[in-house]
Amino acid sequence: MQTQAVNEDVVAGGYAASLAWIAGLVAIAIVTTSLVKLVFVDFVHGNPHRTRENVIEMLVIFPPLFCLLAVIGVTLVFGPSQWFQALAFRALANRFGSKAEFFMLLVWPVAAVITWYSFDYLTPSNFNLGINVGPDWTPYQHGLTIHRYWAAVAAQAPVTLFTVNYVRTAAGGLPRKALIYATLAAAVVAGVIFGHHMALNQYQFL
């Protein structure tokens, strides 16, 4: 019984820590995207609508703000499904031992449903500034459709894969630093790519 309790603590701690890492990685990707976009739009291309002083202020203010929003958003959207997956993984580990991680692929589609409804109801899905109201505008409708489900499955995939591997590093002594460094590099690369893409799209409006 003592060994099982320790394993449960490891699983719970691993899932909680992995959620914190995911929030940090998302924050890094978002901040990198914003910084790369600002650099290309305002310094490389030249934005006549903003002064260099304003750009520098944005470079200072935006990163901590985006980090805070990313942490809150990731916690609200993926927190409930992460808790569900932790319970499922613990139950599967008691039943199948080290093979439990493979059965988490069966839990992944269910976790995606929880993730979608967390996003749908815990975040401001119907946020409107009044600028998009027109004759064809319709209020946002909550609910899960096929398109929304597959979007949730795609969003849940990297979260589940990262979490399962992170828990393996905690339970099996696998190299955790390699996992963190690899995902950190992926977050930065993704941020650079998306930031550059967004900058290219904004050039036409300058």
With 70 as the cut, is the pLDDT of residue 133 above it? Answer: no
pLDDT of residue 147: 95
CA distances from 98 to 25, 30, 49, 123, 187 (A): 27, 35, 58, 36, 29
Share of the chain above pLDDT 70, in %: 84
Please write down the HEC assignment for all residues of 79-90.
HHHHHHHHHHHH
pLDDT of residue 73: 93
Angle at which helix 146-172 crosses helix 176-202, to 10 degrees, equals: 150
CA-CA-CA-CA torsion for 153, 15, 182, 194, nearest 10 degrees? 40
pLDDT of residue 2: 38
Most confidently modeled of 8-12, 36-40, 91-95?
A: 36-40
Q: Cα 32 vs. chain centroid, distance in angstroms?
A: 14
pTM of the shown model: 0.82
Share of the chain above pLDDT 90, in %: 40
Per-residue pLDDT of 88-111, as tens digits, reads 888 887 787 767 777 888 899 999
pLDDT of residue 59: 82
In this predicted structure, which of 24-28, 168-172, 186-190 has the lowest mean pLDDT? Answer: 168-172
pLDDT of residue 6: 38
With 70 as the cut, is the pLDDT of residue 117 above it? Answer: yes
The more confidently predicted of residues 38 and 153 is 153
The more confidently predicted of residues 59 and 192 is 192
With 70 as the cut, is the pLDDT of residue 173 above it? Answer: no
Using a 10 angstrom Cβ sphere, with 0-12 exposed, 13-18 middle and 19 or more buried, the burial of residue 37 is buried
pLDDT of residue 155: 94
CB atoms within 10 A of CB 206: 12
